[in-house]
Structure 1
């Protein structure tokens, strides 16, 4: 079996891990907040993918995981100001190869299926989780939670709400 980058994960000082100039990926503030919460609660579950350069590690994938460490004192304290990094293969270290790798990493993540997300919200509600809990831990705003609840079509999801406008005689 050939060498796999994930075979070796190193903890490098965050100051030595630098962004690239070509990453087309951006993360909206709610998702960035969720990423920080995810790392604070679950820890780093994926290393930052880098390409070693002279005295630094250039990010190929994981810029926002690095930003989370820089934005959160909790994460920085827990990791001693370091990031888990892995290194792409030698053959992928030229700029064009790194650029292609960055785009592949970004595009390979996929998207969430609405029906499956509705089912997750339904399950969390049935477990007694409040919309506030779902919002914080799953990274949805209240309108999104409401829309996903409506998609399930289950009146039970709204059993705790009073929708009457007044008393009927």
Structure 2
């Protein structure tokens, strides 16, 4: 059976163009210049990618010092797991980027998922040398950059690893309610039923003057 052509024969020679680009980047005078050029090229390709709605379609290398922790992540990693993560990155390199959003104008990128992976490059000279001080990151889609969406994404990333502290989860509830997020949406974002959310609100003294009710659909 004849295999379908993947590229129109009338299209430019993509392989040749890619080789020219690679040669140009290799000739740049410094690592920083090469990294910036790679990011520029990747952003250009991402802009025309049919998979650009997935953040992982664009992985950029940014200075690790330009990335900051968020204020709400309740996930904790015990020392043995942190040591295992460090060994993994030292031996195998970064295999998973850090999920971020750009942050407010003039501020550093903020982590959605990957705080401990960021710690490794900042705290381990061997790893920092191997990445030239850079950290691989993805950027949340524009429609997922509001605070409620970011918190929800962090929680969902955390579910398969680590553990949520009670105080940390309570802080999430307080933060979302302070942002004016409806109770139904808080419950959905944090994966809580109405009784569990009620307990966190009682623990945090958040019941006075609130008066919202849950929808029957969520209960």
- Identify whether the pair has TM-score above 0.5, normalized to the shorter chain: yes
- Aligned ranges for residues 1-169 of structure 1 at < 5 Å? 3-53=53-103, 54-109=106-161
Partner secondary structure for residue 76 of structure 2: coil
Query: Which sections of structure 2, spanning at least 5 residues, go unmatched?
Result: 1-50, 164-219
Q: How well do the aligned residues superpose, as a CA RMSD in angstroms? A: 1.7
Distance 2:63 2:131 in 1: 9
Normalising by structure 2, report the TM-score.
Answer: 0.48
Deviation at 1:78, TM superposition (A): 0.2
Structure scoring higher RCO (CA < 8 A, sep ≥ 6) equals: 1
Deviations 1:114-142 (A, max 9, x none): xxxxxxxxxxxxxxxxxxxxxxxxxxxxx
Q: What residue in structure 2 maps to residue 129 of structure 1?
A: none
Normalising by structure 1, report the TM-score.
Answer: 0.62
Query: Which sections of structure 1, spanning at least 5 residues, go unmatched?
Result: 112-169
Deviations 1:94-125 (A, max 9, x none): 111100100000004499xxxxxxxxxxxxxx
Decide whether the 8 Å contact of 2:75 with 2:162 is kept in 1: no
Distance 1:67 1:102 in 2: 17
Aligned residues: 111
Higher radius of gyration, 1 or 2: 2
